[in-house]
Every structure is written in structure tokens, then in C-alpha cells.
Structure 1
Amino acid sequence: MLSVKSLRIVSSSRAVLHPCWLTTNRLSVSKAVTCSAHCMSASLHKKCTWLSSMNFRALRKERQLLFYTHRAPSLRNCCTSQVKLNCWNCKHLLDKTPAFFCVSCKAVQPPEEGASYFKIMDCDYTFTLDTQKLQKTYLQLQRCLHPDNFSQKSVKEQEYSESQSALVNKAYNTLLKPLSRGLYMLELEGMSIEEGTVSGVDSDFLMKLMEINEALDEARTPEEANKIGQDTKGKLADLTVQIDAALLKGELQAAKALLVQMKYYANIDEKVKEKLSEFM
């Protein structure tokens, strides 16, 4: 790559031989210098970004217990836009995102596109979130956003309240149970578990599931069915601990495999409830 000084020397020598060259090619020289500076800047930026990434990985390894609060959030975990928004009604600047109401005119706001369920429900991005706090937030939001509160408002506010209320419902139901919460966290990281798939599942594990299902079908008393239910709940609790540990370490593939197992055990748990209802 030519330095700026070298370009000046070449320019001067060419100008002596061809007086018109300096005038007609000044723009080309300027472009070459600009391009050189841009390439150097891009190279330095790339190097700094790489070093920052290396430093972050080292920090995360040393402080795994604080993984969720210190890790660099991916685009999937955050709202798609950090731009300040204004109220659709009075144009006042909204104080936070996602915003449910304008602090100035109190008008209900439309749902913010791309906001994660964790942000909507004001929860920490963690598999072991506080479900009591989640339920409290849910009740507070629904008391404020329920469409019945806006029956005398404009059509637009009625539509926004219905959309916000439905979104809060969906966010709450997704985050409430460990299985749906874990699957949603994988989805935020760009991973998913296909419906009905058994690929990657250990054959011994599938055999064990068949035995449990057969025992449940053959259960003739509530005690027998309840015993299977208690064993299943214990397994679900154990899987919850393992999944949380995998996510804390950023081991997404391991978390995915464990969530597949949780999905099967959650299905058995539902079958136990159905079986117990037959004895009533």
C-alpha cells in the first residue's frame, strides 16, 4: 500500500513530464488517499473488535456465575430498536421501552415490534427467573391493559389495548413454565426443536419412556398413577437444574438436548394428570 508521502512524490514527477496530468488526475490521487485511510481504519476496527471479543470470552470463563448479567447480548435477546419513540397521540417522548402508556397523555401505546418476552414482563434473561415476580407483573399489566378499560376510548386505543393484552398473555404463558421458557430462549439464540422429532435422542432413553408409558396405561389405582407422576416431577426438577447449568455456560447444544428430554417428560406429566382424572 502506498503512503501519502509516496503518492505526493509520484504526483510531482508525473506533473513535470506532463503538465496537464496534475490537474486532470488530482481527483484520482484524492480517491486513492481516501481509500487508503479507509482501509487502515477498517483494519484497526476489525482488530479492536477481535481483541474485545477475546477479552470478553476470558471474562465470561472466569465469571460464569454472572453469565446472564454480564454477557454481551445478541440481537435476538434485545429489542430490535434502541431508538427513542414518541407517543402516537401527543408526540411526547416515551420514557422507556417497551412503553405501555404515555406518561404525558396516558394513552395506551402500540406493542413495540421485536421486544422480547423478558423485556415485556420486566424479567431477567435467565432460565431460573422469579415466577412470583412474573405473576405479579402479569396481574398488574392486565389490570391496566384489559380492553374493558378502553370501551369509551378511541378505536385506535381499543385496538392497541387488545394487542398489548394479548401480547402480555402470550409472554406470560411462555415464560411461566420451564419447558416453554427454555424453548423460547433457544429460539432467541437462533435454535429450535422440531415438532415430533426424535433425532439425536438416545435409544435407551426412548426405551425408558416406553416403559413409563406402558406402566401408566396399566395403572389400576390412583396410587400407582401418582407414583409415576411423582417420579416424573422429580426428573423434571433435575432436568431444570441441568438446563440452567448448560445455559449459564453458554452450552446451547447441551441445553437443547436436555430440553428435548424435558419435552418428553412434560408429556408424561400431562398423561398422569389425565389418568388421575379417570379415577375421580
Structure 2
Amino acid sequence: MFSVKYLRIVCLSRAAPHSHWPKASRLSVCKPVLSSSHCFTTNTLQNSTVDFTAPGKQSELCFCFNQVFRNCSTCQVKVNCWNCKQVLDKELTFFCRSCKVVQPSDDGTTFFKIMDCDHSFTVDVQKLQRRYLQLQRSLHPDNFSQKSAREQEYSESQSALVNKAYTTLLKPLSRGLYMLELEGMGIDEGTESGADSDFLMELMEINEALHEAQTPDEASKIGHDMKARLVELTEQIDTALQKGELQAAKALLAQMKYYTNIEEKVKEKLSEFM
């Protein structure tokens, strides 16, 4: 038994040493240190005492750590510029305001912060694209060919991180999967064990119809059907994530993944008619 009131979390990005913990908790783990100082606000946990050694409490501990990890990653920590040693007091800094040199990337920063987006399944794609172009104009390695080797290295890592953040948040499927990843959840590759048998049968019929399509119109009709289903799924996933229904969102994202694959197959089929 220990009081969460006196728990200070130092966030680490490493695998959990306890293999018996739930898989969802092993993606982001925090190291507990007893301290009276706080790097986050624990209004909901303050003055509470939890026996995390009790049966079934490990998942509560993991949820607590995930929430604290998110709060820790958003708190402002003062660091110094590697070049001029001036304090960088912004939450996300690409350049030092004093000497203007590019700073090292922070792999712990979420893609939503990098792209200046709300942590939401619904994003403004046009704003996302503007942010991407703005950052790449500033961070692209070609701009630092005459700079020091260290600054060239930082520009490359920053530019690569921006690329990854942009491509992940651009599409609903990758965006939703990333949001689940931040919660310690994911969809296993190549597994259909969790899919409903009726749904799998429907997929087989759609794939067979696409394979047997003899004209562009027949293939296009299947493509239009997939687009309509993906729009509907997008709305359902958004609602589930807003309500915090992660398991429901995970199941819907699995369906979206299948329909997205069929949509890609439709494009390939249409190219055969050209």
C-alpha cells in the first residue's frame, strides 16, 4: 500500500520489466520515485491510497502510469540550447530564439503537438498540411548544408520526425491506430481472430466480386461502396474515442483497416483497365 499523493513519476521510454503485466501497459512505462515534488497535477488521485499488489490492480496501476506519462510529457521542463546555453522554456522548440540554431528532436513529443493539432480523431487536414509545409521549409536538411555537422544531424532528425507525424495524422486509419498506441493499445498485424464471422464472410464476397469485375464501372461501384462505409466508420470511431470507449474504437479501426485494403485493391483493379 502506498499513497499516490507522494508519488513522483519520472517518464521513461523503455520496455516494462514485468512480463506478467498486461500487454497494453508495456508500451509506455514510468519509473516511480517517492518524492514530495510534482511534475504534474494529480487532482483526481491526490490523497488516495491504492494497493496495487492486490489481484486485478495491475491494470489500474498501468492506467495510472499512462495518464501520468501523458501529463509528464506536457509539462514545461526548462532545458538549455546546446549551442548558446540559453534556456529554452517553450514546451516544443525547434529553434533557439537567441542563436537561431536548430534543436534536437524530442521523440517523446506526440505527433499532435508537433503538428499543432488538438488531440482528436477529427483534424483539420488543410491546417495539418499548412503546418507541415511551414515546418519543412524551416527544417529541411538542404537549409543546413553549410552549417555544422551537429546542426545538420538535428535538422535531419527533426525533418524526419515531422514527416512521420504528418503521414501518421493525415489518414484516419493511421491517426486512429496512433491514438490507440498512445493509450497502450494496438491492432495485431495479420490476425483475424477478433473479427466477426459474418464480417469476414462479407469481406470474402466483396473481394470475390472485385476479382470477377469485368468493367471499370463494376470496380468503381465497389470503390464507392467502400468510401461510403469508411465515412460511416470514421464518424463511429470519432464518437467512440470521444466517449473513451477504446475497445469499441479498436474493433471499428480493425474494420476500417479491412475496408481500406479493399479500397486500395479497387485502385489496382481500375489501373488494369487503363
TM-score by length of 2: 0.75
Residues 1-280 of structure 1 correspond to what in structure 2 (within 5 A)? 48-50=46-48, 75-76=69-70, 79=73, 82-280=76-274
Query: Retained in 1: the 8 A contact 2:180–2:246?
Result: yes
Instruction: Name the count of aligned residue pairs.
Output: 217
Task: Say which SS state the counterpart of residue 94 (structure 2) adopts.
Answer: coil
By how many angstroms is 1:81 displaced? 6.2
By how many angstroms is 1:137 displaced? 0.2
Query: Retained in 1: the 8 A contact 2:74–2:91?
Result: no
Closer, same or farther in 2 for the Cα pair 1:273/1:48, shift >3 Å?
same
By how many angstroms is 1:82 displaced? 3.5
RMSD of aligned C-alpha atoms?
2.2
Closer, same or farther in 2 for the Cα pair 1:48/1:73, shift >3 Å?
closer
Query: Retained in 1: the 8 A contact 2:88–2:96?
Result: yes
The one-character-per-residue Cα deviations of 1:77-126 (angstroms, maximum 9, x if unpaired) are: 76276411211101111141221101110000000131111111111000
The 1-side partners of 2:47 and 2:269 are apart by 57
The structure with more helix, counted as a fraction of residues: 1
By how many angstroms is 1:76 displaced? 4.1
The 2-side partners of 1:46 and 1:133 are apart by 34
User: Based on CA coordinates, which of the two structures has the bigger radius of gyration?
Assistant: 1
Percent identity of the aligned residues? 73
Task: Say which SS state the counterpart of residue 123 (structure 1) adopts.
Answer: coil
The one-character-per-residue Cα deviations of 1:165-189 (angstroms, maximum 9, x if unpaired) are: 0000000000000000000000000
TM-score by length of 1: 0.73
Closer, same or farther in 2 for the Cα pair 1:47/1:73, shift >3 Å?
closer
Query: Retained in 1: the 8 A contact 2:77–2:91?
Result: no
The structure with more strand, counted as a fraction of residues: 2
The 1-side partners of 2:69 and 2:249 are apart by 20
The one-character-per-residue Cα deviations of 1:124-163 (angstroms, maximum 9, x if unpaired) are: 0000011111110000000000100000000000000000
Closer, same or farther in 2 for the Cα pair 1:78/1:227, shift >3 Å?
farther
Aligned to 1:3: none
Report runs of 4+ in structure 1 exceeding 4 Å deviation: 45-51
> AA paired with 2:200?
L
